[in-house]
Amino acid sequence: MDNRGADICRTCVDCGSVNCDSREKTYPEFCLTEKLNEETIEKIRCLYEDEENNRISVTSAVIENEFYLRYTRVEETLEFAKRMGFKKIGIATCVGLLRESHVLAGILRENGFQVFSAACKVGSFKKEDVGVSAEDITNTGPFMCNPIMQAELLNKEGTELNIVMGLCVGHDSLFYKYSEALVTTLVSKDRVLAHNPAGALYQIDSYYKKLKNGAGTE
């Protein structure tokens, strides 16, 4: 638990009730749901009446229920794309995951989808061109990732769903920002934990206790 005291803004991550999921318990005093008024709730609910929003939310809920604890994320992604009627899938991949992305592309093609991919170094230029200093490229090389170009190429190709495969933290944010199609993430990059970033959270009281004191800084 966070031990910094009363100055913390308590929100959902501090909740032990999760009454919003069951509506059978008592809400904590800081509950965001309890603080919402009916006008705000109705305003957001109306957004789900948008045709695309409604299809996405309904399709996702049905898949979750139908394949709960049975389907992997790869299978759920396939099922979602099929039920949404998508034909062309984009893959925005890190060059370090080209092998995995090649396997994914094969699976998608075997399931009848067209696939268009763009790797992170496509159209790359030197990091120094955008203001990265020479001392900050000693471990990773001089050429920067280009997530905006990845998004632009997939936009131009007219992909209907883009799958992120291990883009760096921040680079993935830029890709999400510029992608015109819906985006889902299949792999979140973690070079240390074999792309399982939740591993650090599972071991927060043992191997990754250091994260509690300065966010992992040396």
SS3 190: coil
pLDDT of the residue at 204: 92
pLDDT of the residue at 7: 79
pLDDT of the residue at 212: 86
Separation of alpha carbons 94 and 117, rounded Å: 11
- Residue 46 and residue 54 in contact, taking contact as beta carbons nearer than 8 Å: no
pLDDT of the residue at 1: 44
| Burial bucket for residue 134 (CB in 10 Å: 0-12, 13-18, 19+) | exposed
pLDDT of the residue at 91: 98
For each of the domains in the chain, give its residue range(s) and CATH number, in order of start. Answer: 28-70 (no CATH), 72-187 (3.40.50.1860)
What percent of the chain is modeled with pLDDT above 90?
A: 77
Q: What is the pLDDT of residues 20-56, one digit of tens each?
A: 888 888 888 899 988 999 999 999 999 999 999 999 9
- Alpha carbon distances (Å) from 27 to 3, 5, 75, 163, 181: 22, 21, 35, 37, 37
List the chain residues with pLDDT less than 70. 1-6, 214-218
